[in-house]
Amino acid sequence: MNPSDAAVILWQHWQDASKIDELPASACPATRDAGYAIQAEIERVSGQTRVGWKIAATSAVGQQHINVDGPLAGRLLAGRQKREDEAVPLVGNNMNVAEAEFAFRMASALPSRSTPYAMDEVMASVAALHPAIEVPDSRYRVFTKVGGPQLIADTACACWFVIGQAAEVDWRAIDLTQHSVTAYRNGDVAGHGSGANVLGDPRLALTWIANEISTFGNGLDAGDVVITGTCLVPVAIRPGDRVRMDFGTLGTVNAVL
């Protein structure tokens, strides 16, 4: 399998907002490692800077949504980030959901190494915590059928994301597992959740991806932002909606659709 072949196919469909059933057999990854190799090629062929990472399927609901048995890591590209006052396009989007996510910005790198990173070590490398919204999508028509390696190749269903302002409170003193988040759609409450829905603790999710990227890549870089997975049931959206995710003392973040 040539990772470049798969990357060109997926990136073209990403740009066109079009879909495929699955990658052709000659370009289809059979393993997690092969999926991440394709991801790396997508970053290269896109010509865009990678600004960070996302974690897909950190909750039972998220895993059921894309039919996998554990989390997946995906790249966040600069051209897919929107400001809070910019419209997030939904053309060609099959998922049509918005997710509330804890986002960590790294102060220092966690390079690839042979021994796992501990949570305390990972958290010591964090500069800031931000509220975030992800509007995911897949380049596959039926994303529940293609399996983990193909979903990883497809950047773990990355599409659009919005990063809010950094929390101004001492977020390290807060129990993120118990911290509640409320979703609003067009001013009405659309859902509730908490950090416990993110692999049990957003900090555990960040530690998971630090070790995943250490194993299958070059590790996290200083300046990377990591969105750690939805902490509530994804909110159904359509063009024209306005979504606000309220993280309480940690701040709010908005998306215009």
183: Cβ contacts below 8 Å, ≥ 6 apart: 98, 100, 189, 190, 191, 192, 193, 232, 235, 243, 244, 245, 246
C-alpha span between 238 and 89 (Å, rounded): 10
pLDDT, position 110: 98
Eight-state DSSP code of residue 239: T
User: Residue 107 maps to which CATH number?
Assistant: 3.90.850.10
Classify residue 13: in a domain, yes or no: no
Classify residue 185: in a domain, yes or no: yes
Residues of the chain with pLDDT under 70: 1
The b-or-e profile of 191-230 (16+ CB within 10 A means b, else e) is bebbbbbbbebbbbbbbbbbbbbbbbbebbbeebbbbbbb
Q: What are phi and psi of 45, to 5 degrees?
A: -70, -25
Classify residue 171: in a domain, yes or no: yes
Classify residue 113: in a domain, yes or no: yes
Classify residue 141: in a domain, yes or no: yes
**Count of domains for the chain:** 1
Classify residue 72: in a domain, yes or no: yes
Ordered alpha helix ranges (H), 79-166: 119-123, 148-153
C-alpha span between 34 and 52 (Å, rounded): 20
pLDDT tens digits for 147-197? 999 999 999 999 999 999 999 999 999 999 999 999 999 999 999 999 999
Classify residue 5: in a domain, yes or no: no
Structure tokens at 157: 């269903």
pLDDT, position 13: 96
pLDDT, position 61: 73
Q: What are phi and psi of 38, to 5 degrees?
A: -65, -45
The parent domain of residue 234 ranges over: 49-256
| Cα of 203 vs its chain's centroid, Å | 15
Classify residue 250: in a domain, yes or no: yes
pTM of the model: 0.96
